[in-house]
Structure 1
Amino acid sequence: MKFKNNLLKQLVSDCIAELMPTYKKEEAAQMVFWLTEDFFGMTKSALLLNPERRLSESEMLSLHFAVKSLKSHVPVQYIIGKVEFLNLSLQVTPAVLIPRPETEQLVDWILQIETAQGLKILDIGTGSGCIALAIKQGLPNASVWGYDQSSDALVVALQNAKSNGLDVHFFKGDIFQEKIELDPVDVVISNPPYVMQSEKSVMQPNVLEYEPYTALFVPDETPLLYYEGILKQAQLLLKPEGRIYFEINEAMGTEMVALLNTWDYKAVHLKHDLNGKPRFISGIKQ
């Protein structure tokens, strides 16, 4: 793209216009403001207060290439390399899913319920570590573990623990291949893959083309595959009266209630997200 001049205010306007064939205006503007804040330390309000700020040639190039990536549907979070999750700033790379607002709601819900001291908590399929780290921040006296089958994801999670000064223990394994070697815990949490392959047609290109496929999708024939594997592990992992929490596919609420009942969980509770969709479920091990 060609810029009219090096005034940041004009560059922002040019970038938004360049992105509008691909994105709605509001979304394009939001992404450009994220870029200017991350690249140049200029918030939206600071930009309004400093309309004469000019960029160097190298700064203009960085903005140019970022907009080019956005036009190719690269998620803006991967371009700037980080995302805000509750009160945490987390590194994200294409090795991990970008944390969603729904998962923030899951963590908030858990923190409202799990108020005891000294809890032992396991996050299965930890990815960037967002759930485990936010839980540790909210429950500093808890012992928290994060488990994932991806070495690349665990590198990101460990870096996020370090940068946020949180003591969470991360380890690798595959729930379908081996028993999770850990003493019994009070709480198991998971936001596992739950998008059915038939749902690809309604998903955005930035998700389909760039976020890790194995962290998103499950076969249509076995949509509860990961939940079944985790519940099997939880038979030994969870203490009696231990609690389990899942984020789920909105189309699978009834099936998930039935699944937890099949595994003899009591007080099974299906909770809706902020959009009124059945998105979370919990149960207590008998």
Structure 2
Amino acid sequence: MEHVKGWNQVELLIRADKEVSDFTVGRVNEAVDRLLTGEPIQYIYGDTYWYGMTFKVNPDVLIPRPETEELVDLIVKNNPETDLSVLDVCTGSGCIAIALAKTLKFPTVTAIDISEAALDVAQSNSALLKVKVDFFKADALNLGDFKKKYDIIVSNPPYVMESEKKDMDSNVLDHEPHIALFVPDSDPLKFYKAIASYALDALTDNGHLYFELNPLTANELTEWMKSHGWNDVQILPDMHSKLRFMVAKK
């Protein structure tokens, strides 16, 4: 009813004993029917509330998760400086880039994605939330054209292995974009490796690389990072005690 009528929770309570029109009932029933097929409510109504802001979402982008809010919190806590330069790789809806642009002190934020449709959503969110983020279409596996130095490089790349599909809910499998979710079991770290290799040259001397992780491959990635030029690698748990975040420094 909040979406259908635009009422807040107080208004819903005030009107709890009031009849609504047949048109309103029809719209609610339509939403319920779609929910029963497994379609996420965020896609039904086209938005989601995340990190204190309302983001537009559609099936071209993943629905932002609570764990990713923790990643933003981690970056903000670790970086109190002003005028930092930030690169968000695999931006999707733009949620990480926009949250950092809103929360850090006068940052310069760049965000990339390979999907033009996702970039359309991200740019819409940036305009809606009145923050400046420079968006570009680019392949996370080939970032050589980005020659600038960054203080922060962050990515929540595709990391779910194909073999994990059997354990996933249909509302994710049938509706969220597979290009943003899955990696082959034969090379589950391919995005991390490409981004980390690029970041070795692209980060400033005191810069940091931040990843959201698949807990199943977190330890393997840690060993790879340490053997490929990264001396300071930390793995941190999420709210569910799963190995979810990496912070790395050269």
- TM-score grouping bracket, smaller chain normalisation: over 0.9
Matches within 5 A, 1:30-179: 36-177=1-142, 179=144
Deviation, 1:220, is 0.8
Among 207, 223, 233, the residue aligned to 1:268: 233
Give 4+ residue runs of structure 1 displaced > 4 Å after superposition.
none
Deviation, 1:163, is 0.5
1:112-145 deviation per Cα after TM superposition (whole angstroms, max 9, x unaligned): 0011111000000000000000001111411001
Residues 39 and 188 (structure 1 numbering): CA distance in 2 closer, same or farther, change over 3 Å? same
Establish whether residue 207 from structure 1 lines up as the match of residue 194 from structure 2.
no
* Corresponding residue SS for 1:199: helix
The alignment of Structure 1 onto Structure 2 pairs a total of residues equal to 250
Structure 2 residue aligned with 1:242: 207
Deviation, 1:44, is 4.4
Residues 82 and 182 (structure 1 numbering): CA distance in 2 closer, same or farther, change over 3 Å? farther
CA distance in 2: counterparts of 1:178 and 1:234, whole angstroms:
9
Please report the TM-score for the alignment, with normalisation by the length of structure 2. 0.96
* Corresponding residue SS for 2:231: strand
RMSD of aligned Cα (Å): 1.3
Structure 2 residue aligned with 1:253: 218
* Corresponding residue SS for 2:125: helix
C-alpha contact 1:180 1:233 (8 A) present in aligned 2: no
CA distance in 2: counterparts of 1:65 and 1:182, whole angstroms:
49
Please report the TM-score for the alignment, with normalisation by the length of structure 1. 0.84
The amino acid across from 2:149 in the alignment is P
Of 92-101 and 254-263, the range deviating more from structure 2: 254-263
Of 39-48 and 245-254, the range deviating more from structure 2: 39-48
Higher RCO, 1 vs 2 (CA within 8 Å, ≥6 residues apart)? 2
* Corresponding residue SS for 2:110: strand
CA distance in 1: counterparts of 2:20 and 2:105, whole angstroms:
43
The structure number with the bigger radius of gyration is: 1
Identical columns (%): 38
Unaligned runs of 5+ in 1: 1-35
Deviation, 1:213, is 0.3
1:74-131 deviation per Cα after TM superposition (whole angstroms, max 9, x unaligned): 1100011111111221000100000000000000011000111110000000000000
CA distance in 1: counterparts of 2:145 and 2:68, whole angstroms:
23
* Corresponding residue SS for 1:210: coil
CA distance in 2: counterparts of 1:266 and 1:115, whole angstroms:
23
The amino acid across from 2:146 in the alignment is E
Deviation, 1:57, is 2.1
The amino acid across from 1:80 in the alignment is Y
C-alpha contact 2:159 2:189 (8 A) present in aligned 1: yes
Deviation, 1:178, is 5.2
Deviation, 1:204, is 0.7
